[in-house]
Amino acid sequence: MDLPAAPELWRRLDRAQGLVVAGGSALAFGVAFANTGVFLRTGTSVSHLTGDMARLSLDLVRASPAVLHDLGRVAAAVAGFFCGALLAGLLVHHPSLDFARPYGRIVTTIGGLFLLAWLLLPAWPAPALALAAGGCGLQNALATRYRGVILRTTHLTGLITDFGTSLGLRLRGADVPRWKVAVPGLLTLAFFAGGAAAAVTAFHLGRDPLPLAGFGYLTTGLAWTAFKHWILPAWARRRVGAADAPLPPGR
């Protein structure tokens, strides 16, 4: 049962810009890490679909047995991404940032989808791509609005657009806070760092990035859920108890 103080705690968390940016950056890093791992093994991207849709249209025109095989993979990624976004709409209900919503369970689910995709990839690449893309679509649908800024975490086109627009407005003299300019830039850097880290993991360490991403999401989601449902309420109870405690007698 939520404590009476819980809504105020959620509001305080919602206003914590550092926590919001750190969480968004972690998600951007993680999805780029996972997407790079999938791309290195299959040549298909699962975190953004613009290029995949272009390939899909080309494959439909150049229909041949080899091309149709690739078409099936791209179609599976598109369908999986759509289903992930649909699931997010069913579970999160609203695009505005609100820490009272089940973000921990969403992140845990994404980790589970990445791990399942990793297990299926050697034998069933198309279903594996659908699952990995589903995780990315689930995360992309969490592109929430935070104080007028859209927190996109799965692709760079929107981030770079927001960064350039906000910076241009500020240079023109508009009253745009610095943090609104910095957020898309930081998320872009996090996405780039995730892709670079996955490449280092694959090429220099000889490890598959996808299961590492899956375990990372799974651990983070479970940790946030534990923090939200047990650690934070316990902290709130201690604060309420301290506020209600009688003052010590004067000396």
Helix (H) or strand (E) holding 56: helix 50-61
Fold designation for 16-140+152-229: Growth Hormone; Chain: A; (1.20.1250)
Angstrom distance (rounded) from CA 218 to CA 200 = 22
Calculate the dihedral angle through the C-alpha atoms of 41, 42, 46, 51, rounding to the nearest 10 degrees: 130
Which one, of 139, 167, 164, 138, lies nearest residue 152 by Cα? 139
Asked if 131 and 117 count as a contact pair (C-beta separation under 8 A), the reply is yes
> Six-digit token pair at 200?
């280092």
Mean pLDDT of 227-243: 68
- Asked if residue 88 has pLDDT above 70, the reply is yes
What mean pLDDT is reported for the chain? Answer: 81
* Nearest partner of 110 among 224, 199, 229, judged by Cα: 224
Long-range contacts of 100-106 (CB under 8 A, 24+ apart): 100/6, 100/7, 100/10, 103/142, 103/221, 103/224, 104/221, 104/222, 104/223, 104/224, 104/225, 104/227, 104/228, 105/221, 105/225, 106/138, 106/139, 106/142, 106/221
Average pLDDT over residues 83-93: 84
With beta carbons less than 8 A apart as the criterion, state whether 10 and 96 touch: no
pTM of the model: 0.82
Could you tell me which residues come within 8 angstroms of residue 250 by beta carbon, excluding any fewer than 6 positions away?
Answer: none
The average pLDDT across 52-76 equals 75
The yes-or-no verdict on residue 43 having pLDDT over 90 is no
Query: In this predicted structure, which of 108-117, 169-178, 239-248 has the lowest mean pLDDT?
Result: 239-248
Q: Are 9 and 232 in contact (CB under 8 A)?
A: yes
**What is the helix (H) or strand (E) element at residue 30, kind and residue range?**
helix 17-42
Q: Is 199 in a helix, a strand, or coil?
A: helix
Eight-state DSSP code of residue 93? -
